[in-house]
Structure 1
Amino acid sequence: MISTEFKLTMRDGHESRIFKWEPESENKIIGIIQLVHGSCEHSKRYEHFADFLTQNGFLVYSSDLRGHGQSVECKDDLGYFSENNGWSMVVEDIYELTKYIKEQHKELKLVMLGHSMGSFLARHYSSIHGEELDGLIVTGTAHNPRIITKFGKFLAERDIKKNGARNRNMTLNSMSYDSFSNQFKPIRTKQDWLSRDESIVDKYRSDELCGFVFTSSAFRDMFDGLLFITDRKNISSTPKNLPILILSGEKDPVGSNGKMVKRAYKEYKNAGIINVQMKLYKDMRHEILNEIGKEEVYQDILTWIKNI
């Protein structure tokens, strides 16, 4: 595949690093995938998946989200979106990339794939910009209980008042990310929840652009996003004819081992979405695109995209 990188300027002047992967022959391009990565990681972790997609005729775009990867000016900006309205700004950054893609490729179908926090962003996006998409795929997602989300937001806002928006919130990090591996015994690392593939976990741990702690404002912003996507009015704003595919590992703690994934599926069905499908993968953990047996996930995604 051919890999290129460039910067795209957002409405507020922020520059996002964009990654583009394409088949070596333009004659093979049959569609576009816009990837939205998760929290505390970056786009280049999806290069292997992008290689699979390009081999099957797809053009792939992904941006390092605000506060992530190569879209930060310095390491202190990792895990920080903005002083205020950070979540909405990230959603609109994703929309700016969509507009750029459509200007370059007016004739091709566009499918968005969001993983983990990226799935939350993609679900928010589909509520307000869903008409831009021909399909939506979410992996490692959840429908989080609103009362717990509101409590998390309260803790984040309290810390912002006390220590400032850029303070690294170790309390919320311990309650969320650091606790995810507790269900796996024995625990080798705090990141065991990501994948059964130890090489993937070790590579993540050694990557200086992965595994950082969110600022209190970023936690607040993410909780704002979770409250938005679990509001039934917003779910109902998703275009009824938008095909949606929900994929997760049966042992993914983010989705409560499938429980909160099934809830997300049910909410879309109740909202009248015509074509929504769900699949849980046996024994797989959070990063199903980086799991042992990921080839099955890749093939399922490819088959679904070709059939929408």
Structure 2
Amino acid sequence: MAQPMTDDPASAGAAEAAGTATAPGPAIAHAPVPSRQRMRDGTELLLRTWLPDPGRFAEPLGSVLLVHGLAEHAGRYQHVADLLCGSGLRVRAFDLRGHGASGGARMVADHPDIYLEDLAEIYDAALHGWNELPILLGHSMGGLIAARFATARVRPVRALVLSSPALALRLAQPVLALHRVLLTLAPRLRVPNPIDARHLSHDPAVVAAYRADPLVQTTITASVLESFIRGMAQAQADAARLEAPMLMLVGGADRVVDPAGSRSFFDNAPADLRDEVWYPHGYHEIFNEAQPLRGEVFAALSDWLQRHLQPSATARPPPA
């Protein structure tokens, strides 16, 4: 089992600086502890771990594994970690391979399930240290990874929270045709990332900070897009296999991913496990939306977590 590695102060410091610059909200209430974890193929990923105030919580009420979206990094989620820690949860997030301050070729997926496999290794190390089932929280691409992880039953999870998950994309036929050519001839070729920062949030400060963030990637490869295409189809097919309570937080005006994918996934998930809050005017990064919407999203998340923070299930060993 991979274990946390010694910090890399230079890369971790850069990541934290970028995260502080991009995350909206109040000053940092809970400082992250950076570390690194080596994957089975030797790639080192940057981790951040936040702990709740021991003065308020003698023991954490649970644990969260947070998975960020395409091209960004986990340092942008300080304000989300603050909210979770304020609810008594400890939080671990990591920069996906090829993203942020983690290792790996920039924006390259060696095979479609590589991000799923990395999450399994992060999960195993967390389970070993914390001995409890974690809540998975994923945004956008991270939401797709988290949804796949839960519905494929890679490991058992306590709950699933999806923020604007990438469960469908609007891809024109010319784009798909080019993708197929690149996937065959140059799957690792980096081409411009089509995400328009103006469509992330109604808050101009968030847009400006995203554009200025040195750790945000500006390219994508056919190998990464293929992980989306295959993963979305499989997640939709497996929605009925969900075994844990799920909250979906969806921006109805999302132009980065197609929110219809969230609707379809939700409709096919078990009715007794699913909750959804739909924000008709919300853009893609609903955790970073302009006020008052951001506060409404955080309140919905906090309320749902409080209702589900019963004593967690005893951790079961992961399958061999």
Q: Quote the residue 1:303 is aligned against.
A: 303
Residue type of the partner of 1:141? P
| Offset at residue 264 of structure 1 (A) | 2.0
Residues 169, 257 of structure 2: 8 Å contact kept: no
Residues 206, 288 of structure 2: 8 Å contact kept: yes
Residues 157, 217 of structure 1: 8 Å contact kept: no
Residue type of the partner of 1:112? L
Residues 120, 154 of structure 2: 8 Å contact kept: no
- State the secondary structure of the residue aligned to 1:129: coil
Structure 1 residues 301 and 72, CA, compared in 2 at 3 Å: closer, same or farther?
A: same
Q: Quote the residue 1:259 is aligned against.
A: 260
Residue type of the partner of 2:287? L
Note if 1:16 corresponds to 2:45. yes
Distance 1:118 1:103 in 2: 22
- State the secondary structure of the residue aligned to 1:210: coil
Q: How does 1:92-171 map to 2 (within 5 A)?
A: 92-106=117-131, 108-129=132-153, 131-144=155-168, 155-162=178-185, 164-170=186-192
CA shift digits 1:109-150 (9 cap, x unpaired): 52101000111111110122365211001011254279x699
Residues 205, 211 of structure 1: 8 Å contact kept: no
- State the secondary structure of the residue aligned to 1:222: helix
Structure 1 residues 286 and 121, CA, compared in 2 at 3 Å: closer, same or farther?
A: same
Distance 1:28 1:150 in 2: 52
Structure 1 residues 152 and 27, CA, compared in 2 at 3 Å: closer, same or farther?
A: farther
Distance 1:246 1:199 in 2: 25
Distance 2:164 2:261 in 1: 10
Structure 1 residues 149 and 222, CA, compared in 2 at 3 Å: closer, same or farther?
A: farther
**Aligned with 2:283 (options 272, 282, 285):** 285
Residue type of the partner of 1:303? D
Q: Quote the residue 1:201 is aligned against.
A: 207
Distance 1:223 1:153 in 2: 10
Residue type of the partner of 2:252? E
Structure 1 residues 150 and 90, CA, compared in 2 at 3 Å: closer, same or farther?
A: farther
Q: Quote the residue 1:237 is aligned against.
A: 241
Structure 1 residues 15 and 142, CA, compared in 2 at 3 Å: closer, same or farther?
A: closer
| Offset at residue 152 of structure 1 (A) | 5.8
Residue type of the partner of 1:157? R
Residues 204, 211 of structure 1: 8 Å contact kept: no
Residue type of the partner of 1:265? F
Q: Quote the residue 1:68 is aligned against.
A: 99
Over the aligned positions, Cα root-mean-square deviation in angstroms equals 2.3
Residues 235, 267 of structure 1: 8 Å contact kept: yes
Residue type of the partner of 1:20? T
CA shift digits 1:241-282 (9 cap, x unpaired): x101111112112454x43322221122xxx35210111124
Structure 1 residues 145 and 55, CA, compared in 2 at 3 Å: closer, same or farther?
A: closer
Residues 140, 254 of structure 1: 8 Å contact kept: no
- Higher mean alpha-carbon deviation, 20-29 vs 31-40, is at 20-29
Note if 1:80 corresponds to 2:108. yes
- State the secondary structure of the residue aligned to 1:229: helix
Residues 255, 261 of structure 1: 8 Å contact kept: no
Distance 1:14 1:211 in 2: 18
Q: TM-score, normalised by structure 2?
A: 0.79
Structure 1 residues 151 and 236, CA, compared in 2 at 3 Å: closer, same or farther?
A: farther
Q: Quote the residue 2:25 is aligned against.
A: none
| Offset at residue 28 of structure 1 (A) | 4.8
| Structure 2 unpaired stretches of 5+ | 1-29, 309-320
| Offset at residue 221 of structure 1 (A) | 2.3
Residues 33, 110 of structure 1: 8 Å contact kept: yes
Distance 2:148 2:173 in 1: 17
Residue type of the partner of 1:113? L
Percent of aligned positions that are identical: 26
Residues 114, 138 of structure 1: 8 Å contact kept: yes
Q: Which of the two has greater helix per residue?
A: 1
CA shift digits 1:46-91 (9 cap, x unpaired): 0111112112211000110111111125xxx221122xx1x31110
Q: TM-score, normalised by structure 1?
A: 0.82
Q: How many residues align?
A: 275
